[in-house]
Amino acid sequence: MTTDASPPLTRLRQDGFVIIRSVLTPSELTALRAAAARLTTAARTGAWPHVRTVGKQFPPWDASLVKQGVGIWGVQHLLHPDLPVDAKDREEFVRLYFHEKLLNVARELLEIEEDEGYDGKMTMELCNMLVRPDGSGNDKKGFALRWHRDDIPWSATPEEEMARLKKEGDKYVHTQWNLPLWDDDSLIVVPGSHKRARTQVERDADPFEENLEGQVKVELNAGDVVFYDNNILHRGVYDGEKERMTLHGSVGHAEGSRERARNVLQHGVGEWVDRCDFSVLGEGKERRTAEGMRRRLVELGRENQGRDVGYSLEG
């Protein structure tokens, strides 16, 4: 009889996503909601240059539009040392990103044995937040992302898609998650599409097709988390009237650093990561893990210094 040592990894490989319920306690949720609300308010007034503006799906985004009344659908870099909130709120985001429950799942998905030591293998990557689209114009109606894979252009041929997608037995070198602070069903995916080229129907579909065959809404309660293969066919459909504060992060594997360089560094993280303050994590294992993860990212930045990493997708 075979035993499945890692159901989350099995599900990720099979479906392209895996939901873990109730990762946060009620009090963690309350504290994070308060910090996230203050950050969102600051970002909506133009106090933070690193935002995703309504109307544009992929980076780079032009934050000056916020002062002209354009809404935002995301706030970038929650671990940034200059985030326009007080230190206590910044500490909430640090605690969340390095939360033991999240890192334990990430470690399983990245197939890192606990006794290999987290700090030698896991790499700090992105920590952003996706919010209810808001602004002074039509964007009150909401906003939608078109169907995409995060790191493979829509123009790719089936052969190009297959060459970039994970093959049976390939290890994950990074993992991406969404953790909503309010119930959230904005993410829509096509299960299984992370391991095959698009069908002709998918290729021919409208980029904003509302009913792609096999699609499912990822229904999350506040405090749940979904880890997903970011090359699964997916889109986001956002309701301008419904609260959304969904933390959106990723964790890398040190051995995949080259492959990940574009994805992480296109967001400019390399410019500030060495100034992050993780002292809220104390001096024990949690802190050592965080410092190790940061060190790997700094090394990644150094290796890519002066190299134009470009953008994965445009538009």
Ligand X SMILES: O=C(O)CCC(=O)C(=O)O
- State the residues that interact with ligand X by CB under 6 A: 130, 145, 150, 178, 186-187, 234, 236
Beta strands in 21-144, from DSSP E residues, in sequence order: 51-53, 72-75, 122-134, 143-144
Q: Closest distance between ligand X and the C-beta of residue 153, in Å?
A: 13
Choice between 24 and 145, CB closer to ligand X? 145
Alpha carbon distance 26, 32 (integer Å) = 10
Q: Dig out the tokens for 49 from the structure.
A: 């240059």
Beta carbons of 198 and 148 less than 8 angstroms apart: no
Q: Closest distance between ligand X and the C-beta of residue 173, in Å?
A: 18
Helices 26-44 and 87-97, interaxial angle, to 10°?
A: 120
Alpha carbon distance 245, 132 (integer Å) = 7
Choice between 79 and 281, CB closer to ligand X? 79
Alpha carbon distance 101, 232 (integer Å) = 24
Q: Closest distance between ligand X and the C-beta of residue 77, in Å?
A: 14
Q: Closest distance between ligand X and the C-beta of residue 226, in Å?
A: 9
Q: Closest distance between ligand X and the C-beta of residue 4, in Å?
A: 28
- Using DSSP's 3-state secondary structure scheme, residue 51 falls into strand
Name the residue with the smallest CB distance to ligand X. Answer: 236
Choice between 107 and 235, CB closer to ligand X? 235
Choice between 70 and 290, CB closer to ligand X? 70
Neighbouring-strand partners of residue 252: 123, 174
Alpha carbon distance 300, 88 (integer Å) = 29
Strands 72-75 and 51-53: antiparallel
Tell me how long the chain is: 315
Choice between 114 and 206, CB closer to ligand X? 206
Q: For the chain, state the CA radius of gyration.
A: 19
Q: Closest distance between ligand X and the C-beta of residue 82, in Å?
A: 23
Q: Closest distance between ligand X and the C-beta of residue 265, in Å?
A: 16
Beta strands in the chain, from DSSP E residues, in sequence order: 17-20, 51-53, 72-75, 122-134, 143-144, 174-180, 187-189, 216-217, 225-228, 234-238, 245-253
Choice between 145 and 269, CB closer to ligand X? 145
Q: Closest distance between ligand X and the C-beta of residue 273, in Å?
A: 20
Alpha carbon distance 207, 235 (integer Å) = 9
Count of C-beta atoms within a 10 Å radius of residue 269? 22
Choice between 150 and 202, CB closer to ligand X? 150
Choice between 236 and 252, CB closer to ligand X? 236
